[in-house]
Amino acid sequence: MQDLKDKVVIITGGAKGIGKACVYEFIKYNAKVVFTYNSSSKDAENIIEELKTQNCFSLKCDVRDYKSCRNVIEEAINRFGRVDILVNNAGILRDKPLFLMLPEDWDEVISTNLYGTFNMTRAIITTFLKQKNGCIINISSVSGLVGLAGQTNYSASKGGIIAFSKALAKEVAGYNIRVNVICPGFIQTDMLNTLKDDLKKKLIDSIPLKRFGKPKDVANLCVFLASDISEYITGEVIKVDGGLAI
């Protein structure tokens, strides 16, 4: 993997799960990392304490709020002088059958997952346009490709991210800004750990590789897409799902 020395990356939702794995992988490849959290302040503190590097700091951010996202960009530039890479990872689940879904269940998921991606991307895009360089990696989901029962809100938000990313990739390619999407399948995170064992077994049986993915599986792809090795890749939607959506 190519070294990312002097590259500055912002990772939303970086205190847990896939986001946390991304923080560690980008640090491993010598990038400077700013990661956000909303409610997981203790987890964020633990990461900073464990890494013990001046090249990583965390910021509280509610991605549903555009001003909060702008603050993250400004703080990152104040600390490191520039931003090169944005990983839009922050997301939530509120799974229910549609007939039981409340309007707030819909609003919270769309606001966090889809509006959050818009807010952070809108906050950084002017900087990237001025630089005539930038890389945006949006974390969607297999649910956004095929739809999963009980996830009409989540699938809609993640499908929206895919359409948003493809349109933006065409819009900014002339400025040397790349936009790609990663669609994880079932990854071993806190979200998955809440499921009962019998349901986990059914899910594993549905995956051709017969196992859940690890957060690092997604983080490795993020680092690849952020590196110059992938400088001719944009507008792509890449699954990390063990073959689930074949």
Domains assigned to the chain: 8-239 (3.40.50.720)
- CA–CA dist 64, 52 (Å, integer): 30
Helices 66-80 and 116-131 meet at what angle, rounded to 10? 40
Percent of the chain whose predicted confidence (pLDDT) is above 90 = 91
pLDDT in tens, 195-243: 788 888 999 999 999 999 999 999 999 999 999 999 999 999 999 999 9
Active site residue 154: yes
Evaluate the CA torsion angle 195, 197, 199, 204 in order and state its sign: positive
Q: Hey, what are 110's tokens?
A: 């769309």
**pTM over the 0.75 mark:** yes
Using the predicted structure, report yes or no on whether residue 112 has a pLDDT greater than 90.
yes
pLDDT digits (tens, 9 = 90+) for 159-202: 999 999 999 999 999 999 999 999 999 999 987 887 788 888 99
Closest to 39 in 3D by CA, of 66, 58, 52:
58
Tell me which residue has tokens 């939530």.
92
Q: How many CA atoms lie within 13 A of 168 on its CB side?
A: 26
Among candidates 158, 187, 178, which has minimal Cα distance to 226?
Answer: 178
Output the pLDDT for position 196. Answer: 82
Question: Is 5 exposed, middle or buried (CB count within 10 Å of its CB: 0-12, 13-18, 19+)?
Answer: exposed
Work out whether strand 177-184 and strand 56-60 pair parallel, antiparallel, or are unpaired. Answer: unpaired
Catalytic residue, chosen from 115, 154, 175, 232, is 154
Instruction: Give pLDDT, residue 190.
Output: 83
pLDDT above 90: residue 156: yes
Q: Where is average pLDDT lowest: 42-51, 144-153, 181-190, 195-204?
A: 195-204
* Neighbouring-strand partners of residue 137: 87, 180
Q: Is the pLDDT of residue 2 over 90?
A: no
Segment holding 60, helix H or strand E? strand 56-60
Between CA 138 and CA 151 the distance in angstroms is 19
Give the chain's mean pLDDT: 96
pLDDT given for residue 1 in this prediction:
61
| 67 burial level (CB within 10 Å; 0-12, 13-18, 19+) | exposed
Q: How big is the chain by its Cα radius of gyration, in Å?
A: 17
What dihedral do alpha carbons 21, 24, 29, 35 form, nearest 10°? Answer: 90
Pull the structure tokens for residue 217.
């599986």
